[in-house]
Chains A and B, each alone.
Chain A
Amino acid sequence: MRDELLALIEKNSRMGLDELAVLLGVNETEVAEELVKLEQEGIICGYHTLINWDKTSIEKVTALIEVKVTPQRGQGFDRIAERIYNYPEVKSVYLISGGYDLLVTLEEKTLKEIASFVSDKLSTLDSVLSTATHFILKKYKDHGTVFDKKREDEREIITP
């Protein structure tokens, strides 16, 4: 049940216990207990909402920043990653294999704020060697969901 439950609520975290129980063919108590376990084990870390901010009047600029760093003795990349993710404007930090080390997602209201974060806060960190900032122009698909795509059902209404 665990895998199927996770797949369901990853897509829709608003499904009620009653509905989940029906879809999974178990009873509500079992679902509730499993959810508690998943939270305790740190497998479920939060329940978010996927928002297409472009459709709101709220201004948001998102940047992906590639960061090259020198790993620190004894702590590898963890220490510098922590320095970066502690900024609330940083939305995500991933350690990446390949040409650079950390991929940082940054969300601000204006381009200027992003620029100042990179030049004042990020680049000045001792172990940061270089950065490359990419601005996101349009989100087509996020978390497996395609934005702005409504497709008609093209099938015949009735087929045998």
Chain B
Amino acid sequence: MTKPLSEAVESLKPSGIRKFFDLVSEMKDAISLGVGEPDFDTPWHIRDEGIFALEKGKTFYTSNAGLKELREEICNYLKRRQGITYNPAKEVLVTVGGSEAIDIGLRALVNPGDEVIIPQPSYVSYEPCAVLAGAKPVIIDLKAENEFRLTADELKAVISDKTKVLILPFPNNPTGAIMERKDLEDIAKIIIENDIYVMSDEIYAELTYKGEHVSIASLDGMKERTILINGFSKAYAMTGWRLGYACAPENIIKQMTKIHQFAIMCAPTTSQYAAVEALKNGDDDVKMMKTAYNQRRRFLINAFKEMNLECFEPFGAFYVFPCIKEFKMTSEEFATRFLEEEKVAVVPGNAFGASGEGFVRISYAYSLENLKLAIERLKCFIGKLRSR
């Protein structure tokens, strides 16, 4: 065949740190601090419910939007945890992970040429999804001095008459940054004044270690313009089940459901039954995991302090994002040498956008024992670099 493939897809840059990823995959004996998924198993009662669903022969499609019972439980959960009321019949769509919701949400919102504002460093799929939807991504480079929060001034500076959507990725992967109520109120004003939609990716909402997570959808005038995305992967350690959801005004969910129906049909049925159990009886599991993450977070922050490694204290997700600029090398050089010399894998910050350059992402979805071992090696590595 000689005919060209899709230009839009071909134009997507493969992840800028492909070389590093390839190197890592060859290092079988490395200690990894590189994953973006929980180390816990899915709690047994949730797995058991999935098994039970299979035993009972619940192996058919569900309705496109997802099991009615699951949508109702999602609404109960959001009411209970965030104080937001959604209509389970019309304002909820169960998706294949939060990632599907990002994709079809953007496709439902934008027309060619519309601008989608993406704060970075952030998860790797927003920009390509925006491009595939025909939009023009507009990047905001978040700053370490603001603890990687999005400020009103930063937002104002990039708004144009083409601005359609703001993506709000907090608690943030890879920085661990959160947006507190006052931060959200500051930007909500501008969002409403400029009549912009918000796609709020709250997949790490349960992993907030300072106060309780606040959803921007709970602020006055915001619910009607917000697609709230959440899911089961991080809070309930269910990454492999591939289950997430989007909540939004009826007209948006209606359009998203069309794309979902044609592309996916419905999210995996077994996973949906397990998720009902997670929402009904999983609060204690979430609390247990969150407590463990928080202890590890404190351990790492304290270890960085002891070795004088610059790092703001993150209050969300399971990542820390220390600054490595003092060593006068790029993130990728740092990560490569750390891997080669000490056999520890961390992710270069620039994998999450240009503004991640000068930082590395360290995940604490690992046991304390594992983290201690890795931190010893980091100490050793940094000692070597500094003594030069």
Contacts and interface: CB of A to CB of B under 8 A. Distances in A.
Interface of A: 4, 7-8, 22-25, 153, 155-160
Interface stretch (B32-40, B109-117, B253-261): B32-40
A160 B298 CA distance: 23
Interface string B21-51: 1001101001010111101000000000000
B35 A157 contact: yes
A160 B124 CA distance: 7
19 contacts: A4-B291, A7-B291, A8-B295, A23-B295, A153-B32, A153-B39, A155-B37, A155-B39, A157-B30, A157-B32, A158-B32, A158-B345, A158-B347, A159-B34, A160-B15, A160-B173, A160-B347, A160-B351, A160-B352
Interface of B: 15, 21, 24-25, 27, 30, 32, 34-37, 39, 123-125, 173, 291, 294-295, 298-299, 302, 345, 347, 351-352, 368
Nearest to B369: A12
Can you list the 10 inter-chain pairs with the closest CB atoms, starting with the nearest? A158-B34, A23-B295, A157-B32, A22-B302, A160-B124, A159-B36, A155-B35, A159-B35, A25-B298, A157-B24
B150 to A, nearest CB: 20
B338 to A, nearest CB: 13
Contacts of B295: 4, 8, 23-24
Given A157-B345, A159-B36, A160-B124, 8 more contacts: A7-B291, A24-B295, A157-B27, A157-B35, A158-B21, A158-B345, A159-B35, A160-B36
B37 A23 contact: no
Given A153-B32, A157-B345, A159-B34, A22 B298 contact: yes
Nearest to B372: A19
A156 B363 CA distance: 13
A157 B298 contact: no
B367 to A, nearest CB: 9
Which of the listed residues A7, A24, A25, A160 has the most CB atoms from chain B within 10 Å of its own CB? A160
- Residue with the greatest number of chain B CB neighbours at <10 A, chosen from A22, A153, A158: A158
A100 B328 CA distance: 72
A95 B352 CA distance: 58
A159 B15 CA distance: 12
B296 to A, nearest CB: 8
Contact of B299 (A22, A156, A158, A160): A22
Contacts of B347: 158, 160
Nearest to B26: A157
Interface centre among A23, A153, A156, A157 (most CB of B within 10 A): A157
A23 B345 contact: no
Contacts of B123: 160
Nearest to B335: A158
Contacts of A160: 15, 36, 123-125, 173, 347, 351-352
Nearest to A7: B291
A117 to B, nearest CB: 37
A158 B352 CA distance: 13
Given A4-B291, A23-B295, A24-B295, A157 B302 contact: no
Contacts of B39: 153, 155
Contacts of B15: 160
A98 B15 CA distance: 63
Contacts of A25: 294, 298
Contacts of B27: 157
A24 B37 CA distance: 23
Contacts of A156: 35
Q: Kindly name the residue among B39, B351, B368 whose own CB sees the greatest number of chain A CB atoms within 10 A.
A: B368
A53 B34 CA distance: 37
B341 to A, nearest CB: 17
A159 B299 CA distance: 23
